[in-house]
Amino acid sequence: MTPKLGILYAPGTNCHEETAFAVEYAGGRPAILLLDEVIARPRLILDYAALIIPGGFSYGDHLAAGRIFAVRFVHHLAEILREFLAGGRPILGICNGDQILMETGLLPAGTIGERHGALTRNRSARFEDRWVALAAAEETFWTAGLVGRPLRLPSAHGEGRLVVAPGDGLRVAFHYVDEKGRPTEAYPANPSGSPGGIAGIYDPGGLVLGLMPHPERAVLPVHGSQDGLGIFANLVRFCTGA
Amino acid sequence: MHALQDYERKRGRALTDAEIEICVQSWSDHCYHTTWKSLGLLRQLMAATAKIDHPEVVSVFRDNAGGIALNEDWVVTIKGETHNFPSSIAPFGGVATKHGGVIRDSIGFGRGGYPIGGSTIMGTMDPRVPPAEVPQGALHPAYILRESIRATAYYCNPMGIPMMYSLYRAHPGYPKCLALGHSVGLIPRRYAQKETPRPGDVALLIGGATGRDGLHGATASSAEMAAETRTKEAAAVQIGHPITERKFMEAVPVLRDAGCIRSITDLGAGGLSCAAGEMGEATGVFLDLDRVPLKDASLTAWEILLSESQERMLLAVPPEKLAEALNILARYDVMAAEVGRFTGDRRYRAVWRGETVVDLEMDFLWGACPIEEAEVRPPLRQASPTPPPPAFSELPKYVKAVLAHYHCCDQSAAGFQFDSTVQGRTVIGPYGGRTGRMPTNAFVCAPIRGQSIGVVSTVAFNPFYGEVDPAGLARLAVLEAVAKAVAVGADPSCLALCDNFYTPRSTPEVNWALCQMVEAIADLSVALGMPFISGKDSSSGTMQTADGKVINVPLTLVVATLGRIPDVTRLVTKPFRRPGDQLILLGDLWPDKLGGSVYLDTLGTRGDLLHDAGPEWAAGRLALFRRLFELYQRPQNPVLAASAIGEGGLLLRLFEMAYGGGMGAEIDLMAIGGRWDGILFAEAVGAFIVEIEAQEDPATLFAGLPWRRIGRVVEEEALSFSYGPERVKIPLAELVAAWEATFPPLIA
């Protein structure tokens, strides 16, 4: 059966359409869900095998990137999200979605409502629009078949530098890598200056993935790279239970 | 003024403040294009487009943008809009609202479009100019440059619209800067035509609230800039708020598909007064100004009407669809207010606090503006001679000077601040090549997800050529933009054009130059079969300094293309592909025609001959364009890489192709012949550098066209040039160092 994947939209979200296309192209059935309507009927999300929070500037990102979305998420949906994750259903946050997951506390520690870090201003103090090379740190259901080679993806954000409280263990999902495939802090291969070259992380259980670059923009041959498709294909496969 | 007084006498009452303000706004040069009307220029361009009668053209000039058919189901649109006045006195606000405004033109196309590409193009004084040389009352160009970049990132990134190209150019005549932005949009073909509002339709105002910001933008921008303009007209400039616009950008297609939009237009210059007046021209409109959501309750009637507060659109909604429309808008968190009705009385009426504050006949508003005869007189020609060529051994010095020139240098430090891949449609973004920093000179996207049909857009902007010859500038602008599109794979039989003029305040000499330019592009457009479908003119590029000096902008014409690419999997890019391949110069290159070139600018002179040979020569370039397209359609395209020559001449493109591919080239300048500096630096617009395999026969591929084998691709990352017995080789690394050093410090 084709799994249904929910893609959350709030005012300011601007990558939902291409994310929906990527899900569909990878064999899933996408549905764009307005956050307000999910808040009005929280159990709606249990109709979906996975949730994706796409990129954008939710609510303008004026207080901090992803802050308002995250506050609403935690305030209205904390309980249903625990139920969702307890059922083994994954959540993927891309760019602004990654920032939102950090703001909710789901990343890095899986503590909803309790923040343990943030994605903050790039070291260049600029929005950085660039192609980057990533390497998967370990093989999980997200990265099956993607380990051991560089993945080329577009990256476009102003706030992607990971800052976490000292002492917290991190489960790194992806690193920015240099030409030799080594994790790098060097600009511009690592456009945000994220420490250790971290470009994406999991929660401790590995069901939640936050990623700053944009796999949904590298799906078709004409995009110049199809390396993003693998991540969506893996997610759809996981949701199918295969 | 007299027209208004006559009208008062006829009506037997004095006009209200609001009525006078409406007339002044609607008749300002910004809204009514009085200079262009009196010279008959727009009519001339429209006649050219009508003559071409292109089957794929869907909408020209009349709507907020122009459109061409992409296929049976979809239309793509383009619009370019300048925001020179506000950007000169408050660059951050001016540039942000430049983007906001032109994006709304895509959204306001037909019965509601969706923006899929944008641009930013800035012309300022040289950002390195000593502060003492900046005229009193003008801002330092480095400040304008930095603020404009910050504003473009601030507005365009949250909008989620990919940046197609960003260009920064300089000229001493730009204390009143050029601030231009384009917007390309996508709309289903069945919604590409507006309907006329019907009596009873609701005038629905959506988006942001109305404030005192942006009063008199249309009139202030139509006037000369003076030393005190910055303080006097401060209220005319606003700070945009992209999220407000992003919300209705998402909601409008939903409204449209639900049948809620009969007509839609954006609120730009002249605010509600212009938008309601234009939309209700054929029917009449009644506005209840008490229903307009306000930021400031103390606004008076004329201020509500004239406010240019950003992020607002006006919709004509069929009454039976109103409830559904309000429901959709609420879901997308868009503020909406029923501010009036379209009537059948052909009057423009507005009430405020129980009083009628406007009651005008539409015929008067749109028909009575007096247009004065414009005098036309050719100016005295000011040609400066071209200096003799320097010694060939000095080539590296001059090559580096051209690569380091502001117009040729690596501007990616700005470009990388703008999202170029959002929406997941981008095939060729503004930069590419091995390091990702080579300018591509074209933007290509595949707008229909999963289909390979593509849209291409390119642009040409040169502030120097107009000093040498206005008609030549106009021809070269068209040819350069078209050649860039053809080089990647545009179909020359389906290319449309968009013009943006920026010229000094009308004088007989300026009028003459304008006529020359418009005639040249109208004729060339007909000869090429490429219609102008959208455009805008600004005739207020004059500044009066505190000490009484008058500074005129250079004659400015920016031409953008919008075209169709049958299959985006078959594009041709710039980077060199393989050592040993032949390099062919396709087209004419006249080394003596250095006028207006970047090279001469580095020598402090303009020259006297543009790289142009008149209307027939320009029209003849079509044969080259067609041949390239034909070759590109072969199952095995013999063209492996190509680029269209422009600013910086043959040299800049050779450098970019080598840098993009991580290779080098050996070039024999004697294959072209003539002065060596002219061969390298003449801006041979309309000519191409083409890479083909060593065993291909160029005489067959390019039979009947001007072509020369100029050299070959080599593995070593260096450019070598031989000129008879002499030879010079420069490592690419040295050239890169010169090319990349100029721009970053200017914006740090």
Per-residue pLDDT of B16-30, as tens digits, reads 888 888 887 777 766
Catalytic, A239? Answer no
Q: What is the mean pLDDT of residues B713-727?
A: 97
User: Active site residue: A15, A95, A157, A159, which one?
Assistant: A95
Q: How many domains does chain A have?
A: 1
Q: How far apart are CA B467 and CA B729, in angstroms?
A: 34
A223 vs B: CB within 8 A: yes
pLDDT surpasses 70 at B469: yes
Q: What CATH number is given to the structural domain containing A46?
A: 3.40.50.880
**pLDDT at position B268:** 85
Which residues lie closer than 8 Å to B480 by C-beta, 6 or more apart? B460, B462, B559, B644, B646, B685, B686
Subunit contact B418:A222, Cβ cutoff 8 A:
no
**pLDDT at position B19:** 85
pLDDT surpasses 60 at B218: no
pLDDT interval class at B233 (50, 70, 90): low
Which among A127, A158, A217 has the least Cβ separation from residue B424? A217
Which among A17, A57, A154 has the least Cβ separation from residue B421? A154
Nearest CA in chain A to B248: A11
Q: How far apart are CA B217 and CA B734, in angstroms?
A: 48
Q: What is the mean pLDDT of residues B430-440?
A: 96
Question: For the ranges B185-189, B354-358, B521-525, which has the lowest average pLDDT?
Answer: B354-358
Q: Are B336 and B205 in contact (CB under 8 A)?
A: yes
Catalytic, A157? Answer no
> pLDDT, tens digit, for every residue of B311-345?
999 999 999 999 999 999 999 999 999 999 999 99
Chain A CB contacts of B120 under 8 Å are: none
pLDDT surpasses 60 at A13: yes
Q: How many CB atoms lie within 10 A of CB B199?
A: 11
> pLDDT, tens digit, for every residue of A108-137?
999 999 999 999 999 999 999 999 999 999
ipTM above 0.95, yes or no: yes
Q: What is the mean pLDDT of residues A168-173?
A: 87
Chain B CB contacts of A21 under 8 Å are: 424, 449-450
**pLDDT at position B223:** 61
Which among A60, A222, A223 has the least Cβ separation from residue B158? A60
Subunit contact A11:B246, Cβ cutoff 8 A:
yes
Subunit contact B419:A129, Cβ cutoff 8 A:
yes
B445 vs A: CB within 8 A: no
**Domain locations along chain B:** 14-53+196-368
Of B488, B464, B487, nearest to B476 (Cα)? B464
> pLDDT, tens digit, for every residue of B590-599?
999 999 999 9
Residue A173 structure tokens? 């999902």
Chain A CB contacts of B156 under 8 Å are: none
A63 vs B: CB within 8 A: no
Q: What is the mean pLDDT of residues B35-54?
A: 87
Nearest CA in chain A to B328: A34
Nearest CA in chain B to A216: B424
Subunit contact B426:A223, Cβ cutoff 8 A:
yes
pLDDT interval class at B461 (50, 70, 90): very high
Q: What is the mean pLDDT of residues B388-404?
A: 97
User: Active site residue: A103, A128, A214, A239, which one?
Assistant: A214
Tell me the average pLDDT of chain B: 93
**pLDDT at position B72:** 93
Q: What is the mean pLDDT of residues B87-98?
A: 94
B46 vs A: CB within 8 A: no
Residue type, B490: A
Residue B170 structure tokens? 């300089």
Subunit contact B158:A56, Cβ cutoff 8 A:
yes
Which among B163, B243, B420 has the least Cβ separation from residue A57? B243
Backbone angles phi, psi at B36, to 5 degrees: -65, -40
Residue B495 structure tokens? 């290319």
pLDDT surpasses 70 at A205: yes
Question: For the ranges A175-184, B262-271, B396-405, B714-723, which has the lowest average pLDDT?
Answer: B262-271
| CA of B429 vs chain A CAs: smallest distance (Å) | 10
Which among B417, B426, B449 has the least Cβ separation from residue A21? B449
Q: How far apart are CA A187 and CA B388, in angstroms?
A: 44
Q: Are B580 and B713 in contact (CB under 8 A)?
A: yes
Taking the domain B14-53+196-368, which CATH number applies?
3.90.650.10
Subunit contact B419:A156, Cβ cutoff 8 A:
yes
Quick one: what percent of chain A has pLDDT higher than 70? 99
User: Active site residue: A15, A103, A216, A239, which one?
Assistant: A216
Chain A CB contacts of B153 under 8 Å are: 126-127, 158
Subunit contact A126:B417, Cβ cutoff 8 A:
yes
Subunit contact A22:B420, Cβ cutoff 8 A:
no
Question: For the ranges B16-30, B415-429, B481-495, which has the lowest average pLDDT?
Answer: B16-30
Return the number of CB contacts < 8 Å for A and B: 100
User: DSSP string spanning B33-97?
Assistant: -HHHHHHTHHHHHHHHHHHH--TTEEE-SSSSSEEEESSSSEEEEEEEEE-HHHHHHSHHHHHHH
Whats the size of chain A, residue-wise? Answer: 242
**pLDDT at position A168:** 64
Q: What is the mean pLDDT of residues B378-399?
A: 91
Which range marks the domain in which residue A102 is found? Answer: 4-240
Catalytic, A214? Answer yes
A40 vs B: CB within 8 A: no
pLDDT surpasses 80 at B612: yes
Which residues lie closer than 8 Å to B120 by C-beta, 6 or more apart? B95, B98, B99, B148, B152, B156, B163, B166, B167, B180, B181, B418
Q: How far apart are CA A7 and CA B559, in angstroms?
A: 40
Question: Between B369 and B541, whose confidence is greater?
Answer: B541
pLDDT surpasses 70 at B577: yes
**pLDDT at position B236:** 63
> pLDDT, tens digit, for every residue of A37-74?
999 999 999 999 999 999 999 999 999 999 999 999 99
Subunit contact A57:B153, Cβ cutoff 8 A:
no
Q: How far apart are CA B302 and CA B219, in angstroms?
A: 14
Which among A18, A129, A222 has the least Cβ separation from residue B416? A129
Tell me the average pLDDT of chain A: 96
| CA of A88 vs chain B CAs: smallest distance (Å) | 30
Subunit contact B450:A25, Cβ cutoff 8 A:
yes
Nearest CA in chain A to B415: A129
> pLDDT, tens digit, for every residue of B114-136?
999 999 999 999 999 999 999 98
pLDDT interval class at B364 (50, 70, 90): confident
Nearest CA in chain B to A217: B424
Q: What is the mean pLDDT of residues B230-250?
A: 81
Chain A CB contacts of B436 under 8 Å are: 130-131
Question: Between B278 and B369, whose confidence is greater?
Answer: B278
